[in-house]
Structure 1
Amino acid sequence: MLLPRCHRIKQPASRSLFQSRPAGRLFIFMKRIGLTGGIGCGKSTLVDYLIGQGMCVVDTDQLAREALSPGQPAYDTVMESLKGACRLEDGTLDRSALGHLVFNDDKKRRWLEGLLHPVIRQAWESRLHTWDREGCPMAVVVIPLLFETQAQDLFDHVICMACSEKEQLHRLLQRGWSQEHIQQRLKAQWSLKEKMDASDGVIWAEGPLSSTFQQWDQIYHRIVSP
């Protein structure tokens, strides 16, 4: 069983907190937070909380859905490659069927990741630049495969959502996933322990939601008031 780690926040990357905008006025440099974690570890729940707090948040899972919507280049490429195998009657992509297909075939999974990851990164980086220009003090980017895509150096801090293996399995089974599919999904990414060890802070998302939110609040205040 994985054990919760004490919050550990590294110092931000070595750069000034103040920089000049094109207009010439000074502003506090927007802090960029990468939020990652295992499947079923509560990332979506925390995102809803952060949005409710008025924070600037972008979820790369949502960006992936947008990239694979009809009319987008990635959608056309996938449909052409798979010969419409994952196409629903209304023309949209059957994400469940696509997931089972690529997680049963490492070659197809790597191909899909190679297609989507650059598009998704460009989208969230563009969102961050916009928020930065607008004066947003902090932005959170949710990236399940943050370390796997080597995006950690693009953030001031990386926070990992985690829970016990038993709880994670329970949550994924509740989604209707089979044991085999769960293992395929877990095998395709870093283990929870690896993600926790590589992160600057860990939120142990097991127990009441109030505990999860309280842990975020503590980390947030340590980031904004180092």
Structure 2
Amino acid sequence: MAKRIFITGGIGSGKSTLLDFLRSQGVAAVEADKVGHEVLTFADTKAELAEKFGNDIFDDEGNVVRSALAAKAFVSPEMTALLDSVTLKRVYAESLRQLDNLAQTHDFVALEMAILDGRDDFYKNADVVLAVVTTPEVRIARLVGRGLTEEDARNRLKNQVPDSKREAIADVVFTNNGTIEDFENEIALWWESFKNEAAK
């Protein structure tokens, strides 16, 4: 039976570096962000979004215009929660469906998702939960390096789930405040241990 690895971390934490390393080792992966885009194409999702946000979030072909949806959904915590009530249940279900499919043909599968807390029934599907955490200043520096202004970077961090919540559900916590090389070395040590344990 395939081992399931769930990865969580905030923006700029390095969770993508962790996922890239695992992929290089033959781990098949699902990214919840991409699943989130996919579920916006589902007919039942679009019907519920139209009911809650109106028809002006669609283009002439009936596709969700993400910028129009964001303009309505991210104006208040209440509206964001309304969007989450439509999309998150489908993201969880579709992520698990894709993971189940990959598990038929791979020994190790991984799911990268920014938020796992609040859904005990979901993250307990994992054999191991990995959290990647960093200090706010390191994350801001990385985001600025990607082209964001410092103000934009700080605003994005304000809306992030605190690392303490991720640490609370994680089996393994990686603190990624150094170089990519340091982080990859730490991942490699963990991976060898995990892989050897799984082989027993």
Question: Shared topology, TM-score over 0.5?
Answer: yes
Of 142-151 and 56-65, the range deviating more from structure 2 = 142-151
Q: Give the TM-score of the pair, scaled to structure 1.
A: 0.72
The answer as to 2:152 corresponding to 1:178 is yes
Aligned-pair CA distance for 1:194: 3.0
Distance in 2 of aligned mates of 1:45 and 1:87: 34
Count, aligned residues: 193
The answer as to 2:67 corresponding to 1:117 is no
For residues 20-99 of structure 1, the aligned pairs below 5 Å read 29-69=1-41, 72-87=43-58, 92-96=63-67, 98-99=69-70
The answer as to 2:193 corresponding to 1:222 is yes
Contact kept? 1:100, 1:181, Cα under 8 Å: no
Distance in 1 of aligned mates of 2:56 and 2:142: 29
**Structure 1's 147 and 165: CA in aligned 2 closer, same or farther, altered over 3 A?**
same
Q: Give the TM-score of the pair, scaled to structure 2.
A: 0.80
Distance in 2 of aligned mates of 1:193 and 1:46: 19
Instruction: Encode CA deviations 1:137-179: one digit per residue, 9 max, x unaligned.
Output: 1111112111133322111111011111111223345435736
**Structure 1's 47 and 98: CA in aligned 2 closer, same or farther, altered over 3 A?**
farther
Unaligned runs of 5+ in 1: 1-28
Q: Read off the aligned partner of 2:100 and give its amino acid letter.
A: H
The answer as to 2:108 corresponding to 1:138 is yes
Identity %: 20
Distance in 2 of aligned mates of 1:180 and 1:161: 19
Distance in 2 of aligned mates of 1:155 and 1:145: 14
Distance in 1 of aligned mates of 2:13 and 2:66: 20
Distance in 1 of aligned mates of 2:19 and 2:48: 30
Of 95-104 and 60-69, the range deviating more from structure 2 = 95-104
Aligned-pair CA distance for 1:97: 5.1
Unaligned runs of 5+ in 2: none
Distance in 2 of aligned mates of 1:79 and 1:52: 41
CA RMSD of aligned residues (A): 2.7
What is aligned with 1:14?
Answer: none
For residues 140-219 of structure 1, the aligned pairs below 5 Å read 140-150=110-120, 151-173=122-144, 174-175=147-148, 178=152, 181-186=155-160, 189=161, 191-219=162-190
Of 78-87 and 55-64, the range deviating more from structure 2 = 78-87
Aligned-pair CA distance for 1:210: 2.1
Question: Counterpart of 1:113 in 2: which secondary structure?
Answer: helix
